[in-house]
Copies of this chain bind each other. A is one copy, B any other.
């Protein structure tokens, strides 16, 4: 049982937070304002097993922090969470830097030699950023067994080996199969997982089914 902060009250935060509570963790959901409606609804659903607060409250509470905010707002949300509440901790970054300002499909704010994962790591050098779970629909993040017997791949990257091991442990508890958790290397490898999003969107657009993932075969 670990104290975990979930930053973000959208469907990703709710899904991750609910799963972590089911697994027996103590979860505090953080949002911009302490009286966020979605956070209140989450609290009512998980009475006695969760708490809510500002991004800073949640970050201070958590031993591990899940960034479930939308990618366009992640850096600001983490600044509000405050470096002093994040330093030394594992930050699991699930976000994609999608820019919807020019309509659909979204563009990526960082590409090629940069990524949101790296931007976060640079902005918070004493935080152990681990990028993962950003390559699929949130329902599958916490329930990979929903499709193909759970036999498909998830990626992990980050600069801190021990932090990645901790996050792999969480992924195993979510139902991911060890051999399918592929460590891509340092945080620069976030580029590839984020730049995969346009293909994800194209596949989704073609198949009309978001409950899919990729399995590496060789």
Contacts and interface: CB of A to CB of B under 8 A. Distances in A.
Interface string A194-218: 0111111111011101011111111
A217 B198 CA distance: 18
A107 B211 CA distance: 30
Tallying the copies of this chain within the complex gives 2
Contact of A211 (B152, B155, B182, B218): B218
A63 interface: no
A202 B184 contact: yes
Contact of A214 (B189, B209, B214): B214
Nearest to A140: B218
Interface string A107-122: 1100111000000000
A160 interface: no
A111 B106 CA distance: 12
Nearest to A109: B112
A97 B191 CA distance: 16
Interface in A99-149: 102, 107-108, 111-113, 147-148
B107 A108 contact: no
Contacts of A83: none
A114 to B, nearest CB: 10
Given A211-B218, A215-B214, A192 B182 contact: no
A111 B111 CA distance: 8
A190 B200 CA distance: 12
Contact of A112 (B111, B151, B206, B218): B111
A200 B217 CA distance: 12
A51 interface: no
Interface in A150-202: 151-152, 155, 157, 182-185, 189, 191-193, 195-202
A40 to B, nearest CB: 34
